Amino acid sequence: MLDVGQGDSIFIELPDNRCMLIDSGESEYGDTVADYISSAGYKKIDYLVATHPHADHIGGMKKAVNSFDIGKIYMPRASADTKTFEKLLKAIDDKGLKINTAKAGVSILAEDNLSIDIIAPNSDSYEELNNYSAVIKLTYGKVKFLFMGDAEKESEGEITADVSADFVKVGHHGSKTSSGEEFVSRVGARVAAVSVAEENDYNLPDQATLDRWRQSGAEVMMTKDKGSIVAETDGESLTVNGQGIALSGSPAASQAQSSRLIINKSTKKIHTLQCPLAKDISEKNKDYTTLTVTRLKEQGYTACKSCNPHD
């Protein structure tokens, strides 16, 4: 996930020297994205996906279309009455490329060990442009990735495909419009990555949305803190920014998840993730930890009497 400020751009290196680009940030990031792909040694983008026609996703894409050989382009059947969108369509047309419709059920790649599927949008028309977002599920061996674009709760609720994933690119920059509680638990991610700028006009990300991912057992990572986020897999294991991640559903993951606790830094109380009292802790006092109850008690914390956490 490239750091493109307030926007999205995900570059995926695939086996056999193939690659895929999902979105490309605002137009001012066109060069950043193109330079990254060139310096990674690619002259061709095999699969190019414009999730939906908002400028923070397609702004830099004209540059990508003009700078590389392009294999297949996927876009949802949605349009925007903007110069940015028109320019992109013109660049695609000038190059003689045709657009494949991105919608649920479209398979981008289906190989023995690798599949890339579009699992949303599931409807033909939405009021909110974000819901047209192409949602992409990539499975390599045992490791699963989900890229949500800006899909909101309406689209999430329509997805019938398997959304379980180890790594999720969280929908709509961590906005409260997306990541509904039921959907978050269906995904069951270990890493929830959010593409968002420190300074933005939209109050993003939404704290309660990040908490939903954390409570589901995911570690939240944001481009505003980390810069670009790099996930690597050989189909058996997963690292994110060099850190090993226990795969979802693995014994190590459930152990890591069940051993996670919420602490109240103000009252110095320890709660389990499910404790109803943990909900009432104000955001500035709330923290998540994988320290044991014993360790926390050594640090002056006491166990909540209602949920009674223990090691």
Q: Which residues bind Zn ion (CB under 5 A)?
A: 54, 56, 130, 150
* CA angle in degrees (0–180, nearest 5) for 211-212-218: 85
- Shortest Cβ 173–Zn ion spacing (Å): 6
Residue 137 CA, distance from chain mean position: 11
DSSP character for 305? T
Which SS3 state, helix, strand or coil, does residue 301 take?
coil
CB of 57 vs Zn ion, minimal distance in Å: 5
Comparing CB distances to Zn ion, the nearer of 136 and 293 is 136
CB of 8 or CB of 166, closer to Zn ion: 8
The CB-of-117 to Zn ion minimum distance in angstroms stands at: 21
Shortest spacing between CB 129 and Zn ion, in angstroms: 6
Residue 125 or 282 with smaller CB distance to Zn ion: 125
Nearer to Zn ion, 150 or 166 (CB): 150
**What is the closest distance, in whole angstroms, from the C-beta atom of residue 156 to Zn ion in the complex?**
15
> How far is residue 52's CA from residue 149's CA, in Å, rounded to a whole number?
8
Q: How far is the CB of 184 from Zn ion (least distance, A)?
A: 19
Please tell me whether residue 92 adopts helix, strand or coil conformation. Answer: helix
Residue 221 or residue 263: which is nearer to Zn ion going by CB?
A: 221
Burial of 151 (0-12, 13-18, 19+ CB in 10 A): buried
Q: Nearer Cβ to Zn ion, position 131 or 139? A: 131
| Helix, strand or coil, per DSSP, at residue 263 | strand
Angle subtended at Cα 184 by Cα 9 and Cα 150, rounded to the nearest 5 degrees: 30
H/E/C letters for each residue in 63-98? Answer: HHHHHCEEEEEEECCCCCCCHHHHHHHHHHHHCCCC
b/e map of 51-60 (b: 16 or more CB within 10 Å)?
bbbbbbbbbb
**Cβ closest to Zn ion, residue 89 vs residue 296:** 89
Q: Rounded to the nearest whole angstrom, what is the least distance from the CB of residue 85 to Zn ion in the complex?
A: 12
* Minimum distance from residue 108 beta carbon to Zn ion (Å): 21
For residues 256 and 290, is the Cβ–Cβ distance under 8 A?
yes
Strand order across the beta sheet in which 219-222 lies:
107-110, 114-120, 135-140, 143-147, 167-169, 191-194, 219-222
Q: Which is nearer to Zn ion, 24 or 216 (CB)?
A: 24
The Cα 49–Cα 184 span in angstroms is: 24
